[in-house]
């Protein structure tokens, strides 16, 4: 019986040259495999754990509040029954 | 002479009474008292000052508390609207400013709303207020 090979089976790495070449290829493969791991660290996306709250009062500026502060204080004094 | 003196005393007394009436008429709104139900709820910590310038119910809501709070808040809103217009500001701006002042005006033991939304009991220390408060 004749075995059919799609590709030639590699001979055993008997010589020193073959062993060194094989080792280099192994290191390259390891380096290629490490690339996605490194990239994976760069694009980590974490889902927010708390709901997003839209602050409706954010457009009220501090200087407006400072301008109104004195009048508001007087209003509270003049309407003591409802404050 | 005795008669003159009596007249003078009467005139002075009448004058003083008139002045007192006039002053009382002017000062009456400033010294208006809180409704007893409101004062009691406030003292008991059942209602507190919110950051937005309105009154809120702190614990369990009852129909009576809701009535008191709504009544006060409707009146406050009317005052805020009038003063906001006079100061060329929006109702929300004026109400928030009044909230800053109302929280500052709470007395120890009364409730107020902190910037994180939680109810706090006022102590002798300064209250926790919005960073924009003066």
Nearest CB to B89; choose among A64, A79, A82: A64
In the 8-state DSSP scheme, what is residue A8? P
Using pLDDT thresholds of 50, 70 and 90, give the confidence band for residue A61.
confident
Same domain, B62 and B26: no
Residue of chain B whose Cα is closest to the Cα of A59: B93
Strands (E), B22-115: 47-49, 55-57, 111-113
Sequence-distant (≥ 6) Cβ neighbours of residue B38 within 8 angstroms: B47, B68, B72
Same domain, B27 and B39: no
Sequence-distant (≥ 6) Cβ neighbours of residue B81 within 8 angstroms: B91
Separation between Cα atoms, residue A46 and residue A66, nearest integer Å: 40
**How many structural domains comprise chain A?**
1
Nearest CB to B97; choose among A68, A80, A82: A68
Chain B residues with CB under 8 Å of A69 CB are 97, 100-101, 134
Using pLDDT thresholds of 50, 70 and 90, give the confidence band for residue A23.
low
pLDDT at B85 over 90: yes
In a domain, A52, yes or no: no
- Kindly state whether B97 is in contact with chain A, defined as any CB-CB distance less than 8 angstroms: yes
Query: What are A2's two structure tokens?
Result: 């004749």
- Kindly state whether A16 is in contact with chain B, defined as any CB-CB distance less than 8 angstroms: no
- Kindly state whether A55 is in contact with chain B, defined as any CB-CB distance less than 8 angstroms: no
Same domain, B67 and B78: yes
pLDDT at B66: 97
User: Which residue, among B34, B46, B100, B109, has the nearest Cα to B72 in the 3D structure?
Assistant: B34
- Kindly state whether A82 is in contact with chain B, defined as any CB-CB distance less than 8 angstroms: yes
pLDDT at A33 over 60: no
Residue whose token pair is 């003591």: A80
Question: What is the domain extent for residue A41?
Answer: 16-45+57-82
In a domain, A22, yes or no: yes
Question: Alpha carbon of B53 to those of A62, B34, B100: distances in Å?
Answer: 16, 17, 7
In a domain, A51, yes or no: no
∠ CA A83-B92-B80 to the nearest 5 degrees? Answer: 40
**Could you report the per-residue pLDDT of B27-78, keeping only the tens digit for each?**
445 568 899 999 999 999 999 999 999 999 999 999 999 999 999 999 999 9
pLDDT at B50: 97
Section B2-30 average pLDDT = 53
Section B71-86 average pLDDT = 97
ipTM of the complex in this document: 0.73
Question: What is the domain extent for residue B43?
Answer: 35-134
């Amino acid at each position: 019986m004749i075995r059919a090979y799609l590709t030639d089976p590699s001979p055993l790495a008997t010589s020193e040259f073959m062993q060194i070449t094989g080792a280099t290829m192994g290191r390259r493969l390891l380096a290629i495999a490490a690339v996605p791991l490194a990239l994976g660290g760069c694009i980590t996306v974490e889902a927010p754990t708390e709901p997003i709250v839209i602050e409706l009062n954010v457009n009220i500026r501090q200087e407006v509040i400072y301008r109104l502060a004195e009048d508001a204080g007087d209003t509270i004094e003049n309407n003591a029954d409802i404050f | 002479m005795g008669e003159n003196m009596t007249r003078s005393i009467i005139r002075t007394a009448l004058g003083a009474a008139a002045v007192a009436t006039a002053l009382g008429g002017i000062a009456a709104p400033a010294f208006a008292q809180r409704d007893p139900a409101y004062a009691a709820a406030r003292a008991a910590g059942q209602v507190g000052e919110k950051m937005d310038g309105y009154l809120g119910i702190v614990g369990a809501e009852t129909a009576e508390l809701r009535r008191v709070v709504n009544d006060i808040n409707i009146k406050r809103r009317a005052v805020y609207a009038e003063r906001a217009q006079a100061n060329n500001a929006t109702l929300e701006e004026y109400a928030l400013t009044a909230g800053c002042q109302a929280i500052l005006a709470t007395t120890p033991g009364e409730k107020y709303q902190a910037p994180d939304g939680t109810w706090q009991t006022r102590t002798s220390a300064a209250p926790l207020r919005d960073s924009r408060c003066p």
